Amino acid sequence: MEAECLSTTMEEGFKGLLRLTGSVKNYDWGRPAKESCVARLYSLNSGVQIDENQPYAEFWMGTHDSGPSYVVEEKGRTDNGYSNGGGIKEKCTLKDWIEKNPSVLGQTVLTKWGTQLPFLFKVLSVEKALSIQAHPDKDLAILLHKEQPLVYKDDNHKPEMALALTEFEALCGFTSLEELKVTVQTVPEIVEVVGNALAKQVLDLNEDDTEEKVKLVLRKLFTEMMSSSKDVITEVLAKLISRLNIKNKARQLTDKEQLVLRLDKQYPADVGVLAAFLFNYVKLKPGEALYLGANEPHAYMYGECIECMATSDNVVRAGLTPKHRDVSTLCSMLTYRQGNPEILHGTTVNPYTVRYLPPFDEFEVDRCILPPHSTVAFPSAPGSSMFVVMGGEGTMTTSAEEIVAEGDVLFAPANTNITIATSSGLHLYRAGVNSRFFEE
């Protein structure tokens, strides 16, 4: 039975830092334990020994029921507002603690989102491709949750941002019209699946056509492809892979062609392998970020990243996955917007910190890399923040000083000034409500 989640005495307000343990996900696409940043962080954060036979995919920090964070109550501590107890307790979820101490979110956040922490913070270690997917907008999320609550567990939208820790590869959004026409001309297997008439409609499009006309043709093409029978896709992919392997002996394959060969090894005879030709293939360098709005198709391919999103776990999948697929919903919900996605490089807020501001109210992310013998201030913000230490060690000071090191996760209430210092070097990330939200 879970221990009672004791509330802080809020007359004076809680101004300290709350230590948390996060949750881990061992999805099949995760990296092997020994190579996974997620495995290392989770082990350091929780004290749990990693299982070297398991892949480690995601480390969750937040209030979502599918991967809750827990408040750590340490023996002998009183500054966190809990009564002294024996040993370390980890039975109080951050969600329960916030519900008992709602003012830690800040009044503006409470008015907008209630006692729900509006963002979910993650670290991802990707070894093989995630599913071709999209996240529903708010209205569709409410509908899907009502109709299929066991599949779509949230009635909230899920805009998200991935910030590369290593070189990071993703498929994101549909290619430009020009590139789409080249693809139809040079990948005969696509024509075999969708038919000559539909392929001709694509090739007949031009820049003078209305955006709606182009989107309609693209939607027909994508829906026809994704709805094809397993037998047709199996046969066509066999031809495609054979053709690419022969071409590989005569010339250097394009990046997209090499990716398709890789995807076929990971997900043989999967329609997502063919669909990859229709999407932008993006390669982020460490420190670059990619944001994804509602109803935009994407799939992470490889690498490690910090991820932040609105608090939701709704995913509509249609390829590159053994999980539940909802092809008709995915094909009907997409925006069919074309062109390269915007890459965020962040804005410098001080010599050591870069801030990434996506066009979503729920979150922003700061990347802070402190060299040895340096100090940085995080001024108080009207909303709460979450910190994860990725490397090194140092101190975080509010009303008291906390020693922090790799694997530590800390929650900072709204209106808390924080000073961070290190003698050896420190690398950390902060998630918080988007500062532009408070300027509106």
* Residue located via tokens 């910090």: 306
Mean pLDDT of 394-414: 96
- How many CB atoms neighbour CB 188 within 10 A? 14
Q: In this predicted model, what pLDDT tens digit does every residue of 6-47 receive, in sequence order? A: 554 343 456 689 999 999 999 999 999 999 999 999 999 999
What angle in degrees, to the nearest 10, is found between the helix axes of 196-204 and 211-226? 150
As a whole number of angstroms, the distance between CA 347 and CA 353 comes to: 8
317 is catalytic: yes
Going 215 to 217 to 219 to 225, the CA torsion angle's sign is negative
Burial 45-63 (b: 16+ CB within 10 A, else e): bbeeebeeebbbbbbbbbb
383 DSSP assignment: S
Q: What is the pLDDT of residues 292-344, one digit of tens each?
A: 988 999 999 999 999 999 987 778 899 999 888 999 999 999 999 999 999 99
What one-character DSSP code corresponds to residue 436? Answer: G
Across 114-118, 137-141, 364-368, least confident range: 137-141
Contacts of 356 (CB under 8 A, 6+ apart): 161, 163, 289, 344, 346, 347, 364, 365, 366, 367
Is 169 within any annotated ligand binding site?
Answer: no
Pick from 29-38, 143-152, 270-279: least confident:
143-152
Tokens of 134: 């999209």
> What integer best gives the mean pLDDT of the chain?
90
Separation between Cα atoms, residue 305 and residue 284, nearest integer Å: 10
For position 141, what pLDDT does the model report? 79
Asked whether residue 133 is marked as a ligand-binding residue, the answer is yes
Task: Indicate whether 386 pLDDT > 70.
Answer: yes
If we measure between CA atoms, which residue out of 285, 234, 240 comes closest to residue 259?
240
- Count Cβ neighbours within 10 Å for each residue of 307-336 and write b for 16 or more, e otherwise: bbbbbbbbbbbbbbbeeebbbebbbebbbb
Q: What pLDDT, in 10s, does the model give residues 198-227?
A: 999 999 999 899 999 999 999 999 999 999
Give every CB contact of residue 377 below 8 A, 6+ residues apart in sequence. Answer: 350, 417, 418, 419, 420
Closest CA to 261 of 250, 280, 279, 247: 247
- Kind of pairing, strands 279-284 and 401-405? unpaired
Q: Are 120 and 308 in contact (CB under 8 A)?
A: yes
Max CA separation in the chain (angstroms)? 75
Q: At residue 81, does pLDDT exceed 90?
A: no
373 among annotated binding-site residues: no
Cα–Cα distance measured from residue 183 to residue 181, given in angstroms and rounded to the nearest whole number: 5
Residues pairing with 393 in the sheet: 405
Burial (CB count <10 Å: 0-12, 13-18, 19+), residue 3: exposed
- The pLDDT of residue 14 is 66
Q: Are 61 and 55 in contact (CB under 8 A)?
A: no
Residues with Cβ < 8 Å from 292, sequence gap 6 or more? 135, 159, 160, 161, 162, 172, 298, 341
> pLDDT grade, residue 399 (50/70/90)?
confident
Among 19, 40, 317, 367, the active-site one is: 317
Q: Report whether 228 contacts 274 (CB < 8 A).
A: no
Give pTM, 2 decimals. 0.91
